[in-house]
Amino acid sequence: MPKIPEETKEEIDKLYKDGLKLPAIARRTGASVSFVYWATWLRKRINPETGGLFASLTEYHEHLARKKDNPETGMPFESLAEYRGYNEKMRMGNQRNKWLGEMITAGLNQGGYCQSWLAEQIGVSRQAVSLYVSGKSFPKEETLGRLVEVLELGIEYDSLEEAVG
């Protein structure tokens, strides 16, 4: 992160005390919203683990992650990386998501289509389709219906619910 001049930090404090919202402060000062957040609210938060102020937003997120218990071990997460890894594993481990990802891949291959084409057809981003295919996300009900219809998967929504549980 580039060094923010003291004058800018002082202006951020003044605008915050004047009641401006964080995005407006960021626009006026040229600082990022995350820096304005850190410079106002977050930097005034005391880290109970050290007794000092949080040095960064990352340190604050690390602290929050260590306060959460890992359901697999019953013990607190040791780091933000461990917490994020657990969440990723849970999303990837979801059988419904995996099953749908396999169905989408088969439908795309059968029709000779790509993920970008599918995204356009069902009205979502290319990234959303990628998340569905990889099993990291599951579409909303109306998107799921369009997906089944566009790929001509030959299944009804009720049977899809039964299949994926």
HEC sequence for 12-75: HHHHHHCCCCHHHHHHHHCCCHHHHHHHHCHHHCECCCCCCECCCHHHHHHHHHHCCECCCCCC
What are the tokens at 135?
């099993």
Phi, psi of 114 (to 5 degrees): -115, 170
* Per-residue pLDDT at 165 exceeds 60: no
Q: How many CB atoms lie within 10 A of CB 15?
A: 19
> The tokens 């169905």 sit on which residue?
103
pTM, two decimal places: 0.47
pLDDT of 51-96, one tens digit each? 888 887 788 889 999 999 998 899 999 999 999 999 888 877 688 8
pLDDT of 86-142, one tens digit each? 988 887 768 888 889 999 999 999 999 999 999 999 999 999 999 999 988 889 888
Q: What pLDDT is recorded for position 87?
A: 86
